[in-house]
């Protein structure tokens, strides 16, 4: 009998213990669900930030709305100093020769008409000789042609003889003119050439003012016809070549003012847009050419930063302090509606804000152009003051 009572007591104890463990398991389930919800919450609200009423007062947050403002459009672009094709000159020779002397070095300043090289070749002597002989032959044939014309008027000679004299004169005239032009190509004046002034050397002169950028010859080197001996840049009228993004190209027009600074000089200079390219480059930019004012002394190829003043436009704008930079993108903060607010300590309501991505444009007089997503309600809800404080609070919350 005692054994039976003990068995019943043991079974009762096991049953009570099972019920207790089951109750404990049921209590832990909500905690797990709550923990899971806590884990997913930051992911859902990663662009949200909450501050207490005390923090709200300390920061001094001010809300407002974007407004249409008349702003002087300014495009920030990069570029470099460029040389117009007509200002870059390659010096060559029409007849080859050996370089006997040249005073030029890269960077040498030259004036128009200045001697840059002396070449020597026996062919120069032959050309001068041929010209003087052709000149004498022309004088002879001219005299004979005139004599035959006189005789023809007197009906003394045959018409065939007159035509033959005329033909010989025209051949001699063509040859003399051709040789005269060849002499001018090597800078020998045929008008002053005589038998006693024939020379084996010719002089090469600079056709423009500027400075030497390349020297491809040296004393004793033979220069073939059309070999580039020197390159000279006329730096009195250099261009500023700018790279404007495709989306901004339509804002740029001829005559607009450009302000630029060189990478090695902070002095601000000005230029005027002369030409807007009609082709999109591989890097999605359009080339814009501007003429620099007072550009003497600039070195072609020097990189620069520039601002193109595109004129005044009405655009949606916010104070610059309302737009924050986070991870290379632009954002603004919007106050979340009261329905989403939750009580903070002491029963007061915490303030909630959401970070919204925007596209920033031109800046002027403390305001910046913004493009806000179309479905965003910004009326009276944009944080005008305290945006960077909210960004700092959001970063700290993420780190925690």
- For the chain, the structural domain boundaries read 46-71+316-399, 75-85+235-311, 93-121+200-234, 123-196
Within 10 A of 226 (CB to CB), how many other CB atoms are there? 10
**What pLDDT does 113 receive?**
94
**Residue from 52, 67, 71, 70 nearest 378 by CA:** 67
**Residue from 269, 306, 314, 264 nearest 288 by CA:** 306
287 bridge partner residues:
243
**What pLDDT does 20 receive?**
55
Tell me the two tokens of residue 245.
Answer: 């993004």
Q: Which residue bears the tokens 């002396």? A: 118
Q: pTM of whole model > 0.85?
A: no
The domain defined by 123-196 folds into Helix Hairpins (1.10.287)
The correct CATH number of 46-71+316-399 out of 2.60.40, 3.40.50, 2.40.420, 1.10.10 is 2.40.420
Label residues 48-84 b or e (16+ Cβ within 10 Å = b).
Answer: bbbbeeebeeebebebbebeebebebbbebebbbbbe
On whether the CB atoms of residues 46 and 341 are closer than 8 A, the answer is no
Q: Which residue bears the tokens 């001699």? A: 172
pLDDT along the chain (400 residues), means of 10: 49 56 50 46 64 82 86 84 89 95 94 96 96 96 91 82 93 96 95 94 94 95 95 87 90 91 86 91 92 75 90 81 87 72 49 87 80 82 87 73
Nearby residues of 157 by Cβ (< 8 Å), 6 or more positions away = 148, 151
Distance CA 249, CA 273 (A): 12
CATH code for the domain defined by 75-85+235-311: 2.40.30.170
At 303 the three-state DSSP class reads strand
For 93-121+200-234, give the CATH class. mainly beta
Chain centroid to Cα 52, Å, comes to 48
Distance CA 161, CA 155 (A): 12
């Amino acid at each position: 009998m005692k054994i039976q009572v003990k068995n019943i007591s043991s079974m009762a104890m096991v049953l009570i213990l099972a019920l207790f463990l089951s109750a404990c398991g049921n209590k832990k389930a909500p905690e797990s669900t709550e923990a899971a919800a806590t884990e997913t919450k930051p992911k859902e609200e990663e662009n949200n930030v909450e501050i207490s009423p005390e923090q709200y007062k300390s920061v001094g947050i001010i809300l407002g709305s974007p407004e249409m403002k008349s702003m002087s459009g300014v495009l920030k672009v990069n570029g470099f100093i460029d040389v117009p094709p007509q200002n870059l000159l390659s010096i060559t020779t029409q007849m080859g020769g050996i370089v006997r002397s040249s005073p030029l070095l890269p960077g040498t300043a030259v004036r128009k008409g200045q001697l840059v090289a002396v070449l020597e070749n026996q062919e120069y002597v032959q050309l001068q000789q041929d010209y003087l002989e052709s000149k004498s032959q022309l004088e002879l044939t001219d005299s004979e042609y005139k004599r035959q014309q006189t005789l023809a008027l007197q009906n003394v000679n045959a018409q065939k003889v007159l035509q033959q004299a005329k033909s010989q004169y025209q051949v001699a005239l063509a040859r003399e003119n051709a040789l005269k032009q060849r002499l001018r190509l090597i800078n020998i004046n045929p008008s002053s050439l005589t038998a006693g002034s024939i020379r084996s050397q010719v002089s090469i002169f600079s056709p423009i003012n500027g400075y030497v950028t390349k020297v491809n010859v040296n004393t004793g080197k033979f220069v073939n016809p059309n070999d580039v001996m020197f390159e000279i840049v006329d730096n009195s009228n250099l261009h500023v070549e700018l790279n404007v993004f495709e989306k901004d190209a339509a804002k740029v027009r001829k005559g607009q003012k450009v302000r630029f600074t060189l990478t090695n000089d902070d002095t601000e200079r000005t230029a005027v847009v002369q030409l807007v390219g009609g082709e999109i480059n591989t890097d999605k930019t359009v080339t814009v050419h501007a003429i620099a004012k007072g550009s003497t002394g600039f070195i072609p190829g020097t990189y620069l930063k520039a601002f193109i003043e595109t004129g005044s436009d009405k655009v949606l704008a916010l104070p610059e302090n309302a737009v924050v930079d986070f991870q290379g993108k632009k954002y603004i903060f919007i106050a979340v509606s009261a329905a989403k607010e939750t009580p903070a300590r002491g029963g007061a309501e915490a303030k909630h804000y959401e970070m919204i991505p925007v596209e920033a444009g031109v800046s002027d007089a403390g305001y910046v152009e913004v493009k806000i997503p179309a479905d965003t309600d910004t009326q009276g809800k944009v944080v005008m003051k305290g945006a960077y404080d909210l960004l700092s609070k959001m970063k700290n919350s993420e780190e925690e």
